[in-house]
Structure 1
Amino acid sequence: MMLETLSRTISIEEAPIAIATLDTNLCFINCSRVWEEAFTASNKDIVGKSFFDIIPNSPQKFRKVLENSFSLKDNIIEEQRHILPDGSSQWYKWNIKPWKQSEDEIGGLIIIHTNITKEKHVKELLIAAENVAKMGGWDLDMITNTIHWSHITKEIHEVPLDYVPSLETGINFYKEGEHRENITKLIHNAVTHGKTWDTELQIVTAKGKELWVRAKGMPEFIDGKCVRLYGIFQDIDKEKKAEIKNAQIKERLDLATEVANIGIWEYNVLNDKLEWNEQMFPLFGVKREEFKYNFESWKATVHPEDLERCLKEFDLALSGIQDFKTQFRIIHPDGSVKHIKANAGLFKDNDGKIIKMVGTNWDITQLVNTQLKLDKSEESFKGSFKSSAVGMALVAKDGSWIDVNDSLCTSLGYSRNELLKLTFQDITHPEDLNDDLEHLQVLLEGRGNSYHLEKRYFHKKGHIIYVVLTVTAVKDIEGNLSHFISQVMDISAKIEAQKKSEEFLELTKNQNNSLLNFAHIVSHNLRSHSSNLSMLSNYLVDEEGESERKEIEAMIIDASESLDETVMHLNEVVQITTEAKEQLQDVNLKTIVKNVEKNISAHLQQKNVECDISIDPSIQVKGIHAYLDSILLNLFTNSIKYSSPNRIPRISIEANKVGKTIILNFKDNGLGINLERHGEKLFGMYKTFHQHEDAKGIGLFITKNQIEAMNGKIEVESAVDQGTLFKITFVAA
């Protein structure tokens, strides 16, 4: 027994920690050197002395802790603050365990001491920092699914200090909607992908208060598995709301500067100086030269019955209690009363002192009067709504039906209950939806009061209903959008009748165009042939040489055959009684060009025109023979008619296939056209661009109409005294 005690004594004395053994009277049996250094002077013998004699500054309640330790089996860990003689304090952590003299007898206590003063001070500083910054902490153990909140975190959530949160209840404190969805995603990404987060969100406290908080979280992984989430939680409500408020003020100011009919004002609090923009003077009916640019000048315009209230609201705004957002009446010099809407924001200096207020005013007289009339006629409207023969609906801002009348249900084929479960988007024709939504967005943004358009709905049975839709925005007394009134007039029968009428008119128009083209072609084409024959006849009369006469006679025969062919083509035009597009045939382009060249050969020879025709013989276009004759004849004769006297006339014709089209380039080196001056009227009827006795101003007009009748188009490039290029696009055969 003595050897065991000696062994224990030696081991305790040499222990590297502050440890001591006490007997049942709480007197020292032995202790380690580390203990002696902490609590006693050098070489002071403490064996047999009471614990409280050696450590006299121990708290009184610590005696009871030691006395109660004899009856406990497990260790006791106790933290105690000890006041030293010099007034300073030390924090100690005591680890206390009873030791046995025998199986049935307690011999005393084993005490291990640790100085935790430094750790306590650090902890106190952290707690103080949390309180100042309103920043709390949290810790989630993913293994045990337990979560710990610091007392600051609990204060922010306005829950009791003994509140025990769970992951689910913690998430549910976040405001329902995007805030709760965002924190859920962030936690998921942290657990699955190891991503940290630092974000600003809104919570709803246990007492129902909405707060902006900064939430920061970090995951801890072991062996690729998230075992812990921890982070900080900070109340930033005041700063965030100030930020939002400043953003709102900026938005109001930006809006005011963009809208030309809104008055903008700025009041300097320090020097009582009031500035108005140009719109404010007519808005208030004040002449610029009579305005004194101070607060009293504004007060003089306000209706006496509204002045006291406005001044109170103004003072509250300057005190920072609320925004200056109001409406009031003003009296114009002519005695008329106007209703004014006002919004304003505050500006502060670096010390937080309010120095000026900037705001906007606009006239809402018409809106107020309209609202009053609407209020008076509300009951009348309800009766009219129900019994109206025109379809009517009350529509919410999201497009859902608030109410519908019987006429609308009848037009669309739905019962009232069926229609109320839908939105107008559900039954609108897809091609009309965007136009309707764009008009609606204008009303939602407050940039209009109503719109009117024709659109299509789908009947319950699937067929299309044509309607005239009128949508009017309904606003409350403060000018805020409430809902919409839609009037839906079924015009399906009218549309069907209109379609038939348009089809008949289009048919008549096409027939008239065909007759007009026919008349112009007859006049134009036959005149060219007769002129050609007359010229050849004169050559024959004047020519004495036999060989030359035979050549002219051959040309007369060719011209006669061309005339006969033209008459035959004109006969084809007579047969066209419906759209030219339905009469298109495959025509060889090179053949038609060469025939026209042959028809006017005398004119070409007379002017010494050089022709270069480069067209693949296989190229065919969709066209009408007579129209193609007329088009090419007009281009040839124009190139001859408007050739330059300073150079040999040249005509270049080529054709290329591009995709499903044929591009014909008809180019000359004649006088050219000033497109900058005449471009817009180039193809107009009776438009001439050169002084020429034969210019009628009809050729290019006919040409363009004929080309478009064959699904083609014509473009022109020209430069004065350089020449002209016509690009004609035909449909390839």
Structure 2
Amino acid sequence: MEINPSFLKNCPAPVIFLDWNLCIMDFSDNWVKEFGKSGNIVGKPFFEVMSNLPEALKSDIESCKSGKAQITGSDKVVTGNSDILWYSWRIGQCNKEHRIILFLEDITHRKIREDLLVKSQKVARIGGWQLDVLGNKVYWSSVTREILGVSEDFHASVESALSFYKEGPDRDLLAQVISDGIEKGIPWDTEHRIINTSGKEIWVRVIGEVESVGGKTVRLHGIFQDIDEKKRTELEYRKISERHMLATKKAGIGVWEYNIPDHKLKWDQNIYGLYGLKETDFKDAFEAWDACVHPDDYERATEMAQEAIRNRKDYIITFRIKTPSGEVRWMKSHGNIMWDDNGEAEKMIGITVDITDLKLTQDQLMESEESLHGVFENSSVGMALLDLEGKFTNVNESFCKSTGYLREELVGSHYRDVAFSENVDMYASLIEEFLRGEISTQQMVTKHLGKHGKIHHKVITVTVVKKTTGEISHFLIQMVDITPQIEAEKRLRNLLQISAMQNESLLNFAHIVSHNMRSHSANLTMITDFLLEGGMDKTEYDNTLDMLNKASKGLNETISHLNEVVQIKTGQEKKMDRILLKKIVNEVMGNVGALANEKKVKVEVDIPDGIEVMGITAYVESIVQNLLTNAIKYRDTQKKHCLVSIRASQDEEDVTLDVSDNGLGIDMEANRDKVFGMYKTFHRNKDAKGIGLFITKSQIDSIGGSIHVESEVGVGSTFRVKFIKAV
């Protein structure tokens, strides 16, 4: 037999040709698609190329070689990976050409599906049945026989099959539905009790379908399922439900169910009883609800139900009803939402309880609590309740104002979140003493950290509150803010210090005016006298006028300096702003950078981001610029590297700015009290006027800061400025 290449290529089945030695001769395209074997496999032993094949296939191929014309079979093989593979085959042979033709198919997936179906039927205890109406024969599947407890060789008729059903309603019902199926073609789905061959009573579900030919029923068939466990659970649940109904009635609890998609509400009899209503007086539960719920609570109850569905939470509400007699009663409902497979709200099931007596008791208790609560809330003293873990459970308005926090920010937070860091260990130790019973109350004056980082001074009293059993329930904290008094004392000290400084400045200013103006006045008088005397030649006259011009300019410059000092002193009343220090320094560097480069001075800046000071922008900029230009101006030209560094740091109250250089330095022993005086110079610099540091100190004083200098001749100077920190 010759192999038709076209037939082999297009063969719809995976087929391969083997020679008599079982080596591969040719194969179809579907063979490659089925087993993924391609490439140079022609001439190779088949069972080497296909290593995972059942032994039964080898045996059938040998049988075919021995003379059998055609052999079919199927079997499984376990691979080295413990995988189970199923194959089916058909084998034919050409004796003349000594060729084997093999149709081989991997049926693993189909076999798995078949096994799963059989197993699922066994697990679900679902069997099948069929009734041949004309032959009066009944056929059962293996699962059905297992449920009934009969062997595979048991042959049943309609009568013998019916005998398994419990005598009475169960047998009569099945006989009736079979009769209706045969005569009227009506299918059925019913539940019955059977007695199997072991005498065990079992609940089964029987589904029947009708098959007709020419309008005449010839066959009935369907499903036979063991539902004994489910049915008995259902019956037990029914008993429990009945007992539950009796118990809830005695306890005054009603059960309701709301079908959300259909907008249908069901009440049990207990709810009608709680509301004093008769079920027969209303079309449905919604009509009864509308008739009895208090008008002031109706909208809220409806909205809360919708909110529970939207937010996927339980429905809990307390509301009022009006009974037919006009009595107002309090009810509480609690419902749980059931969700379908798509995540949609399906139903809400809940209970309703009459809490009228409880409500009256709560109202009486609330009156007494409200009086205590009023004292707590309206006290001018800050008050807070702290649990044993150190968390706030309640705070009053005065406590919130004192700390700067909102109530919702404090309640639930730990005292460590608002305590000054230096006091945390002290508070922890104090709580331990309370818990050990060593003390029951404690008062202290301490610092407290406000919301925005401001430090407050407080008088804090902590008292233990105990239960009736003697155990500690919580702590009561009373807080009085004495920050205004502390700050007033601080301001008074500052005012006294400022007054002393101002008196000193005024005295200094008076001396300057007296000395400088008297000098200029005498000089001008003398020059004027020269001019009035006359008798000067042209050269002398011109020289005298030049002297007069210079004296006039000197007077004008002195008046300008004095005016600038006066402006600084009067400018103290300007409103100070928050100033970003790094921004000011960068702006000054932009103005002075060219000068530093020209004088070959390296300036290093280290100002952390976010440092803010309180001041007047023009003053702060002038302070930084004057200190930096002085450092450049009084550099030591004999040194190879001239350096200036500008650095800043901050603590809880102040910001420190250091401007350091390695310049000429100042003899501090000789000039310590003169550094910031007016017209005081320390080097023979032709540009030095002795006014810059005086103005700088005046500006720093006017914004509440301070300046200090450390210097050594030939080493350099560091000017340290203290600014008020912005908080």
Asked which structure has the greater CA Rg, the reply is 2
Fold match (TM-score > 0.5): no
TM-score under structure 2 length normalisation: 0.29
TM-score under structure 1 length normalisation: 0.29
